[in-house]
Chain A
Amino acid sequence: MAVQPLVRARDLHVSFVSRDSTVKAVNGIDLDLVEGEVLCILGESGSGKSVTLRALMQLNPKGKTVMSGELNVAGNDMMTISDAKLSAMRGKVVSMIFQEPMTALDPVFTIGQQIGETLMRHEGIGYREAEKKALDLLELVQIPSAKRRLGAYPHELSGGLRQRAMIAMAISCRPKLLLADEPTTALDATVQIQILLLLRRLQQELGMGVVFVTHDLGVAGEIADRIAVMYAGRMVELGSVTDVMAKPLHPYAQGLMGATVHAGNRGKRLTTIPGSPPDLRFPIPGCAFAPRCQYVGDACREHVPDFRYPAEGRAVRCVKAEEVAAA
């Protein structure tokens, strides 16, 4: 039997229902992640990347969220999982780091207490031992003068140190799966690279599977094994980081690459994608990118294109994939 994947999603749908409207945030996602793999979900705001990530831990708001499809995380069926099992799993098997550590950490508890709480809850150890382990964790994430920082409150730390503390908390029980929701977006450039390198090292040392959500192609290039590009709630392209960055196949992924300002295109006009991302309250029949796509044809507007597999390990959801690849 093949190795059980850490994450397996099939035709996953997530919508948010309110009295006024239904927002179809995720419209049928297939996702596989094996242990020790880093998958980056790349997309713009409203593409459904964060909602997908939150669905893996059932963190979308209860009562407003409607999920369908198949979702299995580390052997647990997330569609039917009980609340007790879910809270035993969160922090132990799956944990998450967020974009804004100031709002993700509790302002009235010290860093040491917050890391210790997770350890005591899942490892069944006492306060003393938890504190000792918390200190080791702070050293592992390279927080200078760790002993003093154990007693610090979140507001006493700089942005980079807060993010390190949150990482320490997330990895405290050696989870199999780490979910990262734009963890470096709020950080300065010189701090961002430090955190990315730290995450990469920890991922390799602990052998975690990581799903990393970002809108920044450069960040994905530094950390990912595979990249999944999302647009309007669907995955439009999937492939190894080298393939996708060297030769994107979906017109949206190509456009994104061309629109990213990088060294060497000074003085030239940037190639742009016309228009703006669609409003998910009003679903577009057919390919959601069709209204902005230069290759668009009649078939694109009729139904949602199926995935095509142009090469080993690559998938692209575009009926014109061959034409786009040749361009």
Chain B
Amino acid sequence: MSDLEQLPDRGGPAQPLLIVKGLMKHFPIGSIMTGGKQVVRAVDGLDLTIGKRETLGIVGESGCGKSTASRLIMSLIEPTAGEIVFDGDLVGATGGISLKEYRRQVQMVFQDSYSSLNPRLTIEESIAYAPQVHGVSRSKAVERAHDLLEAVGLAPGQYARRFPHELSGGQRQRVNIARALALQPRLIILDEPVSALDKSVEAQVLNLLLDLKEQFGLTYLFISHDLNVVEHVADRVLVMYLGKVAEVGPVGDIFRAPAHPYTRALLASRPSMDPARRRTEPPLRGDPPNPINPPSGCRFRTRCVMARAVCAEKIPPLASEDNAHETACHAVTPNSGYAESERMVA
């Protein structure tokens, strides 16, 4: 192979680019003292689909499992259970798509732009590295690295030979994006790509990401704790709480008509941006509970104002009336037993 091309669409537009089923990751944390049985349920049964050329935003607080989910989807860590289907092919299975081929088509951009670049390689070497692993000649790979630097707004003549420490945070994140594009991927996982950047630079990088998506026909999985950023870039949004999906739906529905009490609280926690209408009451009390020992039933019930007895007994399934907007909450699910259930005394 002399040059890499983006692999063709196989399943057609109706086939989601990525389907994740029952993905689970439990990290053992037990010592001999505790019998070695304790686990952190970082991701506990995650289902999601991403359509072609769509941006799925994942939001949630620290410890909700969004970063673990991204690493599982990238196959950087082994899942405890679950499967990933990429454009109709099961990943890593015989007859499916091999891990090497999958990783060529899925690339990732991390939050920390500095630690995710090799400090001893110039940026053109970093960008040209992976294509060479996949059989592209060095000269071709470097030539392409220069094109990509151009595409992310860094003049190759000025920057190609620099080392990561000679660049600013925003420039380094542009290099990381160029490196992710080098293998002509179809899906890019962006794990808090702008969180470490200053506001004025954040806007530049967000604009760049939106442009590149058009230019290269990309699909994004965009993970962020910043709801405003997710609202800006995502087509669909998935809200996670303690390793489980609380709510998923089109961005407009989630932000205008959130159904899950956690989503509502998360949205109401945003600063008002208007000093005349400041927040007066915090929408939630306390911190998210520890994922080592999550509450029974609905994991949000310990902080939920609507919690009733049924919430402690049964885990609410993701349910919906129209399939597009799903919510895991007994209160909005018909026949869940919520209406008959007794109120919890807080």
Do A190 and B284 touch across chains, with their CB atoms under 8 A apart? yes
Contact of B279 among A159, A197, A256, A265 (CB under 8 A): A197
Task: Indicate the member of A161, A197, A224 with the most B CB atoms within 10 Å.
Answer: A197
Does the CB pair B198–A45 fall under 8 Å? yes
**A245/B273 in contact, CB under 8 A:** yes
Measured between beta carbons, the chain B residues less than 8 angstroms from A45 are 198
Can you sample 9 A-B contacts with CB below 8 Å? Answer: A44-B199, A160-B286, A160-B287, A197-B279, A197-B280, A215-B198, A222-B272, A266-B231, A271-B203
Report the nearest A residue to B289, measured CB to CB: A158
In the complex the two chains form, is B206's CB within 8 Å of A190's CB?
A: no
Query: Does B232 lie within 8 Å of A261, measured CB to CB?
Result: yes
Known contacts A45-B198, A277-B198: does B275 contact A190 (CB below 8 Å)? no
Contact across chains for A197 and B282 when beta carbons are under 8 A apart: yes
B272 near A221: Cβ-Cβ < 8 Å: yes
Find out whether the CB atom of B168 lies under 8 angstroms from the CB atom of A276. yes
**Interface membership of B314, Cβ < 8 A:** no
Contact of B257 with A by CB under 8 A: no
| B340 contacts chain A at the CB level, 8 A cutoff | no
Cross-interface CB contact of B265 among A44, A190, A271, A276, cutoff 8 Å = A190
Asked whether any CB of chain B lies closer than 8 Å to the CB of A310, the reply is: no
Contact mask for chain A residues 248-278; partner B; CB cutoff 8 A; 1 contact, 0 none: 0000000110111111011001111110110
Asked whether A242 lies within 8 Å of B275 as measured between CB atoms, the reply is yes
Q: Which of B111-119, B185-193, B221-229 contacts A (4 or more CB under 8 A)?
A: B221-229
Interface size on A, residues (CB 8 A): 45
Q: Which residues in B have their C-beta under 8 angstroms from that of A241?
A: 275
Q: Does B62 contact A (CB under 8 A)?
A: yes
Decide yes or no whether B288 CB sits under 8 A from chain A: yes
The listed residue (B232, B265, B270) touching A266 by CB distance below 8 A is: B232
Of the four ranges (under 10, 10 to 19, 20 to 34, 35 or more), the interface on chain B belongs to 35 or more
Binding site for B on A (CB under 8 A): 44-45, 144, 158-161, 188-194, 196-197, 215-219, 221-222, 224, 241-242, 245, 255-256, 258-263, 265-266, 269-274, 276-277
Pair B199/A218 contact, Cβ less than 8 Å: no
> Which residues on the A side are within 8 Å of B169 (C-beta)?
276
**Contact (A189, B269) CB under 8 Å given A270-B207, A271-B203:** yes
Chain B residues lying within 8 Å of A272, measured Cβ to Cβ, are 200, 203-204, 207
Q: Do A259 and B281 touch (CB < 8 A)?
A: no
Decide if B228 touches A262 in the complex (CB within 8 Å).
yes
A242 / chain B contacts, CB cutoff of 8 Å: 275-276
Partner of B283 from A160, A190, A215, A258 at Cβ < 8 Å? A190
Measured in the bound complex, the distance between the Cα atoms of B286 and A144 in whole Å is: 9
In the complex with contacts A160-B287, A215-B199, A269-B279 CB distance below 8 A: no
CB of B126 to closest CB in A, whole Å: 20
Whole-angstrom CA separation of A166 from B281 in the bound complex: 22
The smallest C-beta distance from B281 to any residue of chain A, in angstroms, reads 7
Q: Which of B200, B272, B288 has the most CB of A within 10 A?
A: B200
Q: How far is the CB of B321 from chain A (nearest CB, A)?
A: 25
Q: Which of B284-336 contact A (CB under 8 A)?
A: 284-288
